[in-house]
Structure 1
Amino acid sequence: MTSLVMPTMASSLLLQLGSTCGKSPSFAPPQSILVDKLRRLVIKVKSSETRECTTAMFNANSRRDFLGLALGVSGLFIGSLDANGAGLPPEGKPKLCDDTCEKELENVPTVTTGSGLQYKDIKVGQGPSPPIGFQVAANYVAMVPSGQIFDSSLEKGQPYIFRVGSGQGIQGLDEGILSMKVGGKRRLYIPGSLAFPKGLTFAPGRPRVAPSSPVIFDVSLEYIPGLEVDEE
């Protein structure tokens, strides 16, 4: 609807400015600040004591400038609506591994488990590892292989709490967290067989996860509720 409204407004303004012969120029009260600015930009009305017939003349350059301005404003307005309507994620999404971390990971060896799960430790924790069936609080950033984020606890503003090893999370996430220690961060390369058998579809602007496709999780193990840390 927006793409029809703005060009129509520009056309109506041009029609009003076509001729003011025989009467003083008059305009309806401006509907917005934008219309008022456009009107003052494109018209110069000459006045005299005898109120002679005055015609607003537009040369080719003036008309092009006017139409260019109107269409430019329209394009910016439409573009803004499209971005918001698509639910596109904002720039600078929070991550567990920044650019410096990415470079350091290039030199970190990859560990491969018997199930096919692979991981790299971003930071080795100093706390306890979670027993199977215990609740854990973890932050995560989930990505497709291209690096596009499809889900993140950081954007939700709270850690993901679930019972590890009980089937509440995907198999690759369970296995990867069980061998971590509290305070640690890890990148998990989860094969399709340990990921989402039925796939996932998120809001517009988020990548779709195809059934049984590989995914990448950056995970930080924050704490284990109810598990006391042994004092040395």
Structure 2
Amino acid sequence: MKRFLPLIITLALGQALQAQKMRDVFAAMPDSVLGIMTKNNRLDCIDFIENDMEAKVRNRFDGFSVLKALTVDYLDLQLTPNCRVEMKLLPAEDTLNYICVARTYSGPVTETKVTLYTPDWNVLPEEKWIPFPAYADFWETNDSVDKEEVSRLQHLQDMRFVTASLQPDDMRLTFVLQPGEVDKEEAERMKKVLRPVVYEWQGKRFVLVDGK
């Protein structure tokens, strides 16, 4: 029986994911989560995109919100010109699905806020579901750049902004450190030693992917 337990858990998680679809979560979510989209806005977006039309609606701020992608468990929404929202359903062992929301704000700099919600839209404390990457995690040495050079480049970053993205076809969450206000040559040097930090959902929390 024990050898079949992992298979049983996997099948149960798959059934839970099938039972709860992103279209339904998006339609029923509290207005307060997105702020400027009403339920009618969201229902219109779903109707448009499922009928192969541009899913563009006028929101509460009299601007436009555009639903760019909608799958069984993933959503990509341009909430405003300066705010992109990604949502992902994450299967869990003790509930139907958690809902991961990544809000990326762009302006002079770009930064992402990632939040994990329970099925009834309560926010989970960060320490319960992810060890967010430290500044040093984004840097690595290689054959062309030694530790001293990496340390020098690290100290050029007065302001530290990180973006994050979810994926439509897997359970990964990827963080990327954005170079600060440095000249073009220094930015090119940074690109050689900056790396994304990748996590994968493991049923209860995001776990760092080995070698990433």
Interval containing the TM-score (normalised by the shorter chain): under 0.3
Larger Rg: 1
TM-score by length of 1: 0.21
TM-score by length of 2: 0.23
- Which protein has the bigger strand share? 2
RCO (CA 8 Å, sep 6+): is it higher in 1 or 2? Answer: 1
